[in-house]
Chains A and B, each alone.
Chain A
Amino acid sequence: MSLDNLTSNWSKLRVQRPQPDQYKDAPYKWGMVIDLDACTGCNACTTACYAENNLPVVGKERFLAGQQMHWLRIERYWGEGTEPTQEFPEQGAQFLPMMCQQCEAAPCEIVCPVGATHHTPDGLNSQVYNRCVGSRYCSANCPYKVRYFNWYNYPESAWPSPLEQQLNPDVTVRSKGVMEKCTFCVQRLTEAKSKARTEKRTVRDGEVLTACAQACPTSAIHFGNLADPTSQVAEMWKAQQVELSAYPQEKDEQREKDEQVAKNNEEVVRGYRVLEELRTYPSVVYLERIRSTEV
């Protein structure tokens, strides 16, 4: 039977993503917008992520050895004109919260030998811990390197008693030897969807937020349903002229026009997706930071 399934559905194994209007009739396609101009690098999102998703705290030594487990990391960059000085070595840092981009054409999905990572109907890139054998091929092929491997059996050491009492019961604790990554707080999404289903409706905009979006004090992180054209995120994507299935993002001409208009209009198209040229079609849009020199 399973062989029949395989032979009759073989073409589904090589579905090309993203297709135009893939989510036209779908109820959900989760997406995100992160406004780098609003991000202050306070790390509240990272902390919230640790609390929500039972991320193990690995300790300083292992962190420095590159074995950290932060699904959401705040990256710091220094550009021209914002170089740190001797006196203030961290002055002028610009922040970029980086998590799994939930790519539509995810490089990790095609290479997983056991299909432990695959695409869900609502556009998430899911990770099935039970199926993962730990070949780490997904991480090797991830351009963003946002997949984190359980190098040790962290549950044994990360939450000494009574800290295990504060674990989120909705999220599994991962064992040694499996890969994990940001899930867009899939446990919250599932709960919201199931609640909406009992009330015979779809999830309303703002009804469900990821932990990072909820915790962000400056509301830099926006989360919502792209399949719903009236949602905040969908409107932001539209305003930034980012289309999920479009490559390349034809923004440059528009941007030049906008920048001329921007002298009297504040709204500039500044949305981009990280490493767009690899055609991974990420579900996260970043809004470029406007530097003080430009304003």
Chain B
Amino acid sequence: MNSALINLSYLAASVLFILGLKGLTHPRTAVRGNLLGALGMLLAVIATFLYRDPLGHGPAQAIGLIVAAVLIGSAVGALLALKIQMTAMPQMVALLNGFGGGASVLVAGAALADLQVEPTIVIVIATAASGIIGGVTFWGSLVAFDKLQELFLPGKPIHFPGQQPLNLALGVVVIGVTAWMATGAGGHLGAAYWTIVVIASVLGILLTIPIGGADMPVAIALLNSYSGLAGAATGFVLDNEVLIITGSLVGASGIILSQIMCKAMNRSLANVLMGNIGAASAGPAADDVYAGKVKGASPDDVAIVMDGARRVVIVPGYGLAVSQAQHAVRDLMNLLESKGTEVEFAIHPVAGRMPGHMNVLLAEADIPYDKLKEMDEINPSFQQTDVAIVIGANDVVNPLARTDPTSPIAGMPILDVDKARTVVVIKRSLSPGFAGIPNPLFAADNTLMYFADGKKAIVDLIAAIKAV
């Protein structure tokens, strides 16, 4: 296969990737879009395999090595994809981000080891960029994976004295070594490159440990973006357009998702990356907010309120997924609908632990996707809602975000559940959410607190409604 033909197949692959992403703009076309993307990948891989010229000059066993590596990678990938629990999706994506970054580091390093001619300054800088971004992505993603999986590191932000100056110093050193590489590195290009990779690896770890568990959605989205950019940099090294195009698409995607997440928490990206969470001291004390005003409710009390409701909105938080209550919630939805009640779900952008996570968790429980409503779409409808049921969510329904400009969550967009006729909050206790502040919603006149574990609460509620 000649090089014009192989470049044409890469062009076709790029077009298929773009069409594939375009398919993801609607659930109806998403499955086909994903298949188009896979087809593009197959085309690119087969074309490369048939590209005899470079494959023909290597060791005779090259083809065998390639096939073996592809088989190992496919087996591991398939095992991960088929075994992973939907609640563990953030960990899976973190791992995939890491492998993407790692692959870029290795391919750029391989290109450097196999230089046929003196590299241009552009190629040297692109190689260094692959090493820096890829190294940060690989180790940063492993730390993110560890934090999400709660293996070795605590979910809480890790701070130590001199953290920022150290990061800055490492950044300066990396740029220095890159500059040295660009001037030829005295013939030690390889040594300079791997030095860069080692420093970037340390930097990747140091940059991710101060990010708190609740902020992981932002970190994962950002690392997703980095893995794309590392791939694009490798594309510059190899002068390969399909790598550049794909890397830019993924880079853009990750940046957009991190912005959406930051906006949903009303925090700047810098603030999230430093691991600064607003001071919890601001605002009223929990006792002043709750004393004598919180009304506890039994399943029977809630069932009576639900009886005859025309419209019910369910607000799921991550607590719902933790107690594995998705299927019970689906049963509740079916029961209410059989009584003629309209049921919808209000999904806050940061519900769950990565962008869109809560939607996947509810879809897995066979809840139709047209019932899952975004915040902006459902907020105006709370005034016409008879009962809003909040399960395992706290900060995202705290009206202080709207009313108290001194609150740490001031200005954060929230779900306006307090405007519903009655609010039922299912929660184990009055403990605060990630922001560490009391929630006046729990003490509001129209709120009933139903203290219980999420799943048991819903199961008991279903029994009570059936008995009414």
A is bound by B: no
Chain B interfacial positions (CB closer than 8 Å to A)? none
A residues lining the B interface (CB < 8 Å): none
